[in-house]
Structure 1
Amino acid sequence: MDQLINLLAHGEEVIDVDEESFLLFAQDIASNNLGMLNPRAPTVEISINGNEYIIHQSPSLLSSHRAGGTTGAVLWKITPLFAEWVTNPSNPLWANALLSQTSTVVELGTGISALVALVLAPSVRHYIATDQEYVRKLFRTNLDANASISVSFSNSNNKAKGKSKGSKSSKSKSTSSPAKSVNNISFTTLDWETDQAASLKECMDPDDAHGQDGEEEGDEDKGFDLLLSCDCIYNEALVAPFVRTCAEICRLRPTYVAGSEEQSSRRKPTVCIIAQQQRSPDVFETWLRETMREFRVWRLSDDVLGEGLKSGSGYLIHLLLAKDK
């Protein structure tokens, strides 16, 4: 499992909750306010890797009193930064072949924007986005509105930024089919408190659900190569079900056991990437304490994260690997 070992070399393992929280929150942190990009606009334009995306939002839904929350009704600032980072070819997930064209990815709390799915899906086998049912309609609207965009890694060094309506973006070379950017994206509801993670692949095409690893080992692969979540940690009451869902999804694959001689012959463990905005140290500590019961945790280095997500940016990226039960 040299690929995974190489990936972990790009981070520092977190051993102590209090020490990690002090290290992160004692430094000067850029102010990102609540973290919403432009919550009053019905549409926003985002440029990522030389491609421009039109994202439809629902300001009225955001300000409503819908039971179960409405934070997914608009685009949050961290999402374009994360989308650009995760699709950069220098990202160690790609450089170490832990992400490839045969990968399956699942996202928790995708929100209405579909932005990470739109940017990442053309480069993987299948992408499953999950959230509450109220997200579905606008999620599909945003997939359809951006279906003609062909995504390429060739311009991945461009900065991701919000742009006013009417601005123009540079053209990029196309290496992916526009149709694939929509056709290999599935949306399904997933309630962290009541739903079973094991059923996620039921919304995929059977051939995709088996995947390359399943064909090699002769059994069905119910798991995923990458689990990601972007800015879903802001409410202490949701921390425990969120972490439990992450652990259930990651344990659909064998877990990572350091130094195991058997690891190389087993399916690769699911890599979990959690991106979040720095807000409340209390909420962060609650999340990290709960997470470290189920996962080993690494904080990725500034060299890997780049300017937009590095220390002091107001954003945090942690890599998780489920512990063996």
Structure 2
Amino acid sequence: MLLEKFFAFIGEEVIDEEEESFILFSRNIPSANLGFVDSRSTTVDVTIHGRDFSIRQSPTLLSSTRAGGTTGAVLWKITPNFAEWISSKSNNPLWEYSILKSSATIVELGCGISGLVALTLAPLVTRYIVTDQEYVRKLLMENLETNGPTAVESHHRHDLPSSHQRKKQRKSHQISPSTQLARTRGKHAPTDGNDIPTAPANITFTTLDWELDAPRMLKNAVNQTKTRSKAKEHRHAIGQDSMEGVDEGEENDLGFDLLISCDCIYNEALVPPFVRTCVDICRLRPAYDPSICLSPPPSGTTKLPQESSTATVVLIAQQQRSPEVFETWLREALRDFHVWRLKDEVLGKGLMAGTGYVVHAMVLRRQTERKVD
């Protein structure tokens, strides 16, 4: 089957965390400081596939003492490289083996303020859900709106707002820079009720704290997006009261084809909740079972039997910083996942060995295969 062929092609399966850590960190790693693109500028310009992006960020928030972390407040160097690679269909096994396809549904953990991966990949797929803590929302939405297509639609969570959100809703309305810019051009930028710009139509943002939130909340985000977009014509929003174009099988499948994490592994204390979150999301679909033949669905339908649903593939891209943190993550991941390191021929110049970056692919083990210490 395609999934099995994909894993056989991308590289060797990782068996031991200590051996993998030794191989990776015995290489020459270029100095990249912590990995910021520019931690002092409020705007960073990058070009991906010949397209210019202007990303607003917050150096002030980065240097603040906010509880829960602030690393998502600025753009990191690996993100443009990863965004360019994953959104390229040329010689990319994710596309060649149909892990990525026009009908794919994707979730990203720790997206930060830039939304770069979503901006480059979402136009090529049906649905894209970005997640992070609440503090990134405003800048993320501005970056998605100002760098995305002009036709946008607001998608929001329907679960109860947090106390932070309720306080925010009571604040007086403020006009964001992107809204002000749009108005000077004679157009009102699409906003939610708090003048926060909205994401392109097939991108949904929802808060997800790995330590505090349950990933099952993502089911609501999936349902919101599915009821607002056609399965085959994802670029055109449909009426809120219309279910036309939504396939019954897709509606019942609350899982994801791909889970993405770009440079989220840097703190040893966050590793266990991060891996648990990945596990919980992947459990929305069956675990990887090579013995199940994924035959195509009957003609005229996209509905698959539950036991034949494709397992969620996880992509973990990270900068090589601390071998201890890396080894802690891999040890945790190997308990619940089969893990492969993507080889240089797959990654290309921007992410290959010597860049200081590494990308692993994972798929959930069956319960009977789970490793126990």
* TM-score between both structures, scaled by the size of structure 1: 0.86
Q: Number of aligned residue pairs: give it.
A: 293
Deviation at 1:96, TM superposition (A): 1.0
Deviation at 1:218, TM superposition (A): 7.9
Q: Specify whether residues 210 and 292 from structure 1 end up closer, same or farther in structure 2 by C-alpha distance, changes over 3 A only.
A: farther
Ranges of 4+ aligned residues in structure 1 off by more than 2 Å: 147-150, 203-212, 214-219, 261-265
> Counterparts of 1:136-215 in structure 2 under 5 Å?
136-148=137-149, 182-203=200-221, 204-207=224-227, 215=247
Q: Does 1:42 align with 2:73?
A: no
Residues in 1 aligned to 2:294 and 2:92: alpha-carbon distance in whole angstroms:
23
1:7 corresponding residue in structure 2: 6
CA contact (8 A) 2:260 2:315 kept: yes
Deviation at 1:181, TM superposition (A): 7.7
Larger radius of gyration: 2
2:258 corresponding residue in structure 1: 226
Amino acid at match of 2:123: P
Q: RMSD between aligned alpha carbons?
A: 2.1
Amino acid at match of 1:232: C
Residues in 1 aligned to 2:229 and 2:286: alpha-carbon distance in whole angstroms:
17
2:279 corresponding residue in structure 1: 247
CA contact (8 A) 1:211 1:221 kept: no
Q: Does 1:33 align with 2:33?
A: yes
Deviation at 1:98, TM superposition (A): 1.4
Residues in 1 aligned to 2:133 and 2:230: alpha-carbon distance in whole angstroms:
26
Unaligned runs of 5+ in 1: 151-179
Deviation at 1:262, TM superposition (A): 4.8
Residues in 2 aligned to 1:319 and 1:185: alpha-carbon distance in whole angstroms:
23
Residues in 2 aligned to 1:206 and 1:47: alpha-carbon distance in whole angstroms:
31
Q: Identity over the aligned pairs, expressed in percent?
A: 56
**CA-to-partner distance for each residue in 1:210-262, whole Å, 9 max, x for gaps?**
968x947587111000000000000000000000000110111111112x135
Indicate the larger mover: 94-103 or 267-276.
94-103
* TM-score between both structures, scaled by the size of structure 2: 0.75
> Counterparts of 1:256-295 in structure 2 under 5 Å?
256-258=288-290, 260-264=291-295, 266-295=308-337
2:117 corresponding residue in structure 1: 116
Q: Secondary structure at the match of 2:272?
A: helix
Residues in 2 aligned to 1:218 and 1:244: alpha-carbon distance in whole angstroms:
25
Amino acid at match of 1:205: T
> Counterparts of 1:45-84 in structure 2 under 5 Å?
45-84=45-84
Q: Secondary structure at the match of 1:234?
A: coil
Unaligned runs of 5+ in 2: 152-197, 233-245, 296-304, 368-373
Residues in 1 aligned to 2:12 and 2:202: alpha-carbon distance in whole angstroms:
34
**CA-to-partner distance for each residue in 1:149-178, whole Å, 9 max, x for gaps?**
89xxxxxxxxxxxxxxxxxxxxxxxxxxxx
CA contact (8 A) 2:149 2:200 kept: no
